[in-house]
Homo-oligomer: A and B are copies of this chain.
Amino acid sequence: MEDRYSLELKPIGVIHSPFKNTGKAPYQGYKSEEISQIEVFKEFEEGLKDIEGFSHIIVIYWFHKSQGYHLLVKTPWDDSLHGLFTTRSPRRPCPLGLTVAELVVREKNILKVKGLDAIDGTPLLDIKPCIPSTDERLGVKLGWFEGRLGREKS
């Protein structure tokens, strides 16, 4: 089937992070004050023109330490099995990570950001501007997450 061809991606950069392995990354990285450095490879630097004006960016990356997946998963929030696509587990058929990060400062091809939970060495795939009118919704219902956020087990 045409739709099931493999698709090929080449990273546009790499994330340098204080989180050195998966056990160290926070479940909800957006709460973290730690600074990560997104290195955009030099050949893509021109694509960052004017990014300084944006306070938040959407960072898409490859969960490079993730291996395999299960379609039903346990999470830190309860003991039930949940459908993988209702979770943010890094173990997914397409291991794509997504975080909205705060852009603290740009230094040439380096973006220093807060709130990024990717681990050190994570391949960077894309950066998009965060646009609330496009990316945010009112009245969002959270399914099984309802009432559980912030109450994860350690």
Contact = CB atoms under 8 A, between A and B. Distances in A.
Contact of A47 (B3, B72, B137): B72
A7 B9 contact: yes
A81 B49 contact: yes
A35 interface: no
A46 to B, nearest CB: 4
Contacts of A134: 28, 30, 88, 100, 149
A67 interface: no
A12 interface: yes
Interface in A129-149: 129-137, 139-146, 149
Nearest to A57: B85
Nearest to A84: B47
5 closest A-B pairs by beta carbon, nearest first, are A53-B143, A49-B83, A55-B141, A47-B84, A47-B71
27 contacts: A3-B11, A3-B14, A5-B10, A6-B8, A7-B123, A8-B9, A9-B9, A10-B94, A30-B134, A51-B83, A53-B86, A53-B143, A53-B144, A53-B146, A54-B142, A56-B137, A56-B140, A60-B96, A85-B129, A87-B129, A88-B128, A98-B98, A100-B134, A100-B136, A100-B137, A132-B140, A136-B136
